[in-house]
Structures are given as C-alpha cells and as structure tokens.
C-alpha cells in the first residue's frame, strides 16, 4: 500500500463523511474513458421495450451458457423480454445477441441483503471469439485493501442517475478499500467488497451487474451492486464478492448441464 494511496484515502474520508447516509441500488462508470476494443467478457443486459432493445444492466460471461450479474437486475423480470448483447463496445450495435433461457438469483437474495448475485443462462451457447470469451471466476482469494482493479460498463455519465446511457462502453481503474473503512458509509458484509475513486470517478446507474476485475483483466473479483445516491461524489461503490459465491456458481452450472 503506497504512501500516496494512504494520503488519498485519508483526504477522501474527511471530505466524504458528511455525505455517507444514502445509497442507491444500481450503479455507472463515472470519469472513465471509452473502451477502444470490445472487452470479451463484458455483456449488455437488455430489455425489450415496445420494439427496441434497451440496455439496463451489465454482466460477465463465465461459461459457454452463463453470465453472472446482480440479482436486482433480473429479479422478477419477464425472461422473454430479456437478452444479452456481446462482443461489442456499442450498446446499440447489431452485434451478436443471445436470448435468455432462465435466470437464477441467489436463493438468499432479498432487496438490500448482501446476496446480490444471479446467473443468467442463454438459450444458445456463446460462440467464443477474440471479442466474446469468458473470464475466470475460480480464483478464490480474499482481495485486500489498496488493490488496483478495473471496472467497465454503459452506466450514465452524469451525477443525476436518470441521465441517458452512453452508446460506447466506458472503463476506469479503481482501488479497493477495507470493509472496515467502507462501513463508515454502508452496512457492508463479508460478502461484499468496496472500491473508491476520486471525485468524478466510480460506477452509477446502468453499471449494475457489471464486472470488477483484476487490473490485468484475468479474474473476476466482484459484481457491481450499489453506491451513493449521487454518483462520482468520492463515496465508495459496493460489489458482490465473487470468491464467496464460487461454490454456488459451480453448483448451479453443474446442475444444469
């Protein structure tokens, strides 16, 4: 943990404590940059509205037939009106679209209860290419604080959560913080992991369900879950910690082979 990191965290705590009382399920990439190439594991979860597919959450490809996302993204949704867009940086593109067979929220999921994770099964298997490929979720290690991570998504890019989503995929790097520090802002559990960025950095509406990955993009660490009511305010973002749910993920996939 560098001296610069410690200094930044200290400044951030002092400047943010007054805003720590509200949070909102559903979050965006704030203060990032456009992805220059498709991120192979990143998908756009879309809903059919009238005759048009609209992005509303993210997710990560983890096998030939499954993605992982946030439970609050799919809970009580009509599966016939959901699809997955893969292999693109543009959420409006005519890239490869996969219809959904079923979704499985974690059995302990209830709104705001620290089990915000779900698996989504496609009707047809993903055809893996250089632009469509799974990310490894199997590495079961506990991510400590002060670790640089990478997050991506099509979430809104203004503080107001009702702003329109960007067409192009956004990415940024964030740093993990300890759950002890994060509890100054939220009642996080050991099932969750927190990151922080400077003011105007982080996730927001439309990024929910998307991937928090290792800096080298080799391993899935978290699923975007919730954050502050106003995005990019220097308050932490919270993710479902993948390592806690590895056995559950394996079990669901095996049971549906």
Catalytic residue numbers? 72, 116, 208
Cα separation values, 33 from 11, 104, 152, 186, Å: 24, 32, 9, 28
Q: List b or e across 137-161, with b for residues whose CB sees 16 or more CB atoms inside 10 angstroms.
A: beeeeebebebebbbbbbbbbebeb
Q: Which helix (H) or strand (E) holds 55?
A: strand 52-61
Hey, what are 190's tokens? 């050991």
Q: Which helix (H) or strand (E) holds 9?
A: helix 3-16
DSSP helix/strand/coil, 18: helix
CA distance 18 to 28: 22
CA 77 distance to own-chain centroid: 18
Contact yes or no for 165/193 (Cβ under 8 A): no
Contact yes or no for 205/224 (Cβ under 8 A): no
CA distance 209 to 161: 16
């Amino acid at each position: 943990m560098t001296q610069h990191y410690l200094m930044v965290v200290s400044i951030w705590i002092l400047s943010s404590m007054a805003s720590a009382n509200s949070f909102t399920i559903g979050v965006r990439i704030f203060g990032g940059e456009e992805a220059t190439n498709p991120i192979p594991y990143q998908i756009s979860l879309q809903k059919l509205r009238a005759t048009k597919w609209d992005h509303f959450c993210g997710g990560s490809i983890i096998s030939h037939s499954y993605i992982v996302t946030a439970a609050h993204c799919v809970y009580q949704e009509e599966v016939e009106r959901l699809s997955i867009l893969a292999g693109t940086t543009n959420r409006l593109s005519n890239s490869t679209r996969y219809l959904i067979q079923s979704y499985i929220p974690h059995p302990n999921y209830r709104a705001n209860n620290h089990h915000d994770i779900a698996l989504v099964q496609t009707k047809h298997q993903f055809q893996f290419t250089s632009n469509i490929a799974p990310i490894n979720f199997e590495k079961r290690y506990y991510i400590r604080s002060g670790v640089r991570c990478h997050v991506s998504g099509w979430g809104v890019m203004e503080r107001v959560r009702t702003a329109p989503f960007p067409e192009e995929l956004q990415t940024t790097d964030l740093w993990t913080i300890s759950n002890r520090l994060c509890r100054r802002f939220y009642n996080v559990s050991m099932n969750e992991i927190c990151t922080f960025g400077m003011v105007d950095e982080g996730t927001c509406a439309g990024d929910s369900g998307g991937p928090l990955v290792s800096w080298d993009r080799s391993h899935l660490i978290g699923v975007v879950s919730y954050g502050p009511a106003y995005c990019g305010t220097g308050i932490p973002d919270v993710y479902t910690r993948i390592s806690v749910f590895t056995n559950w993920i394996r079990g669901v996939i095996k049971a549906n082979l």
